[in-house]
Amino acid sequence: MSNKPFLGMLPSTWVFGILVVLTFVTFFLGEKGIGGLEVALFVLGIAMIKGHLVGAYFMGLGKLRGLWRWPVSVWLIIPGSLIATAFILSY
Amino acid sequence: MTQAVDALDPDRATLDPDQSNRYPPGDLAIWIFILAELAVFAVFFGAYAFTRMDNVALFNEFQLHLDREAALINTLALITSSYFVVRAVSAIKENHAEYCFRWLVAAMGMGGIFLIVKMGEYSHHFEQGINLSTNTFYMFYLSLTVFHFMHVIMGMVILAAVAIKAKKGGYTAQEHTGVETGASYWHMVDLVWLILFPLVYVMR
């Protein structure tokens, strides 16, 4: 995972921008008050992507090799799976 | 543990790049602590989701009473503070202790915004007589968010300690384990909120 600037901006700055955009997407879906399993899972998917970006780029785990590269990704899968299962079963 | 390794081999990164790419930034002990904290939050999130299964109508109704705009501001505040902490770590790696200090102060400022907005939300709830016993949704909402709130306070105390040491010149490009340790904890606080926000405020 390179730390070289892309189009004049550091990867962490790009990630920050992506996190902000995804946060607004989540917020507007909430504001619309849209229910439904697909929307819920979509919002959960956005949260998983955001979590992965924080782990890989902000926490610096993305550049690691071996076991320590994965704890945040594995952690995201655990509550993500629990939440997804509960929501699927509730519909 | 990493400090012990560093003590034996201060130039670990330059001597053995393979090894430096195998351990996370900061002290390994904070990562054990972070994983324990994340495990607790995972249980909390799972409990919320499975309890909701038997109370879907109630959760959906009272979720609409929450202030999503406040949650948006808080999410942006934590994301921004996390980014500022990344910049603080980058600054100290380039031996710019003063910049490191300033980025950390900016990050704490964002953390302060989070605390103020969240206290405003709590104040509004308490004025309405809402507490842990009001219903199952509020029991989870208050428990989860207050537990996270305490972690934000803890993270700000850690960042303050790191900032003070950075200001005093306690970190260098060669030795900045403390900055990375504090940064890792703060990112964990941000990470947890990134799941908490959609789960409690948006998903229905």
- Rounded Cα gap, residues A42 and A49, in angstroms: 11
Q: Is the pLDDT of residue B3 over 60?
A: no
Note the pLDDT of residue A35.
77
- Rounded Cα gap, residues B56 and B20, in angstroms: 48
Q: Is the pLDDT of residue B8 over 80?
A: no
Tens of pLDDT, residue by residue over B175-204, are: 999 999 999 999 999 999 999 999 999 999
**For residue B201, which residues of chain A lie inside 8 Å, CB to CB?**
30
Q: Is the pLDDT of residue B78 over 70?
A: yes
Asked if A75 lies within 8 A of B197 by C-beta distance, the reply is no
Indicate the domain borders of chain B. Answer: 28-202
Backbone angles phi, psi at A9, to 5 degrees: -125, 145
What percentage of residues in chain B have a pLDDT greater than 90?
A: 89
What letter represents residue A27's amino acid? F
Tens of pLDDT, residue by residue over A55-75, are: 999 999 999 999 999 999 999
Tens of pLDDT, residue by residue over B46-55, are: 999 999 999 9
- Rounded Cα gap, residues B28 and B116, in angstroms: 32
Residue A6 lies in a domain: no
- Rounded Cα gap, residues B118 and A61, in angstroms: 30
Backbone angles phi, psi at B80, to 5 degrees: -65, -40
Note the pLDDT of residue B16.
53
- Rounded Cα gap, residues B186 and B106, in angstroms: 13
Note the pLDDT of residue B152.
98
Enter the tokens of residue B201.
């405020």
CATH architecture of the domain B28-202 equals Up-down Bundle (1.20)
Mean per-residue pLDDT of chain A:
93
A68 by DSSP, 3-state: which? helix
Model confidence pTM above 0.80: yes
Question: What does chain B look like in DSSP terms, one character per residue?
Answer: -HHHHHHH-TTHHHH-HHHHTTS-SS-HHHHHHHHHHHHHHHHHHHHHHHHHHT-HHHHHHHHTTS-HHHHHHHHHHHHHHHHHHHHHHHHHHTT-HHHHHHHHHHHHHHHHHHHHHHHHHHHHHHHTT--TTS-HHHHHHHHHHHHHHHHHHHHHHHHHHHHHHHHTT---SS--HHHHHHHHHHHHHHHHHHHHHIIIII--
Tens of pLDDT, residue by residue over B14-69, are: 445 556 688 999 999 999 999 999 999 999 999 999 999 999 999 999 999 999 99
Tens of pLDDT, residue by residue over A10-47, are: 899 999 999 999 999 999 999 987 778 999 999 999 99
Tens of pLDDT, residue by residue over B104-150, are: 999 999 999 999 999 999 999 999 999 999 999 999 999 999 999 99
- Rounded Cα gap, residues B100 and A83, in angstroms: 38
Chain Cα centroid distance, residue B17: 29
Residue A50, domain extent: 11-90
Note the pLDDT of residue A7.
74
Residue A57 lies in a domain: yes
**Looking at the DSSP assignment, which residues form a beta bridge with residue A6?**
A9
Note the pLDDT of residue B17.
54
**For residue A57, which residues of chain B lie inside 8 Å, CB to CB?**
86
Residue of B186, B194, B200 to mutate for A, most A C-beta atoms under 10 A: B194
Q: Is the pLDDT of residue A3 over 80?
A: no
**For residue B87, which residues of chain A lie inside 8 Å, CB to CB?**
12
DSSP state of A3: -
Asked if A78 lies within 8 A of B42 by C-beta distance, the reply is yes
Q: A2: pLDDT confidence band, cut at 50, 70 and 90?
A: low
How many structural domains does chain A have? 1
Residues 38-97 of B with CB under 8 A from A: 38-39, 41-42, 45-46, 49-50, 52-53, 56, 60, 64, 68, 71-72, 75-76, 79-80, 82-83, 85-87, 90
Backbone angles phi, psi at B89, to 5 degrees: -65, -45
Note the pLDDT of residue B13.
43
The set of long-range contacts for B9-18, using a CB threshold of 8 Å and a minimum separation of 24, is B10/B174, B10/B175, B18/A65
Note the pLDDT of residue A17.
98
Contact B170, B178 (CB under 8 A): yes
Q: Is the pLDDT of residue B11 over 60?
A: no
Whole-complex ipTM: 0.94
B18 and A CB contact within 8 Å: yes
Backbone angles phi, psi at A6, to 5 degrees: -120, 125
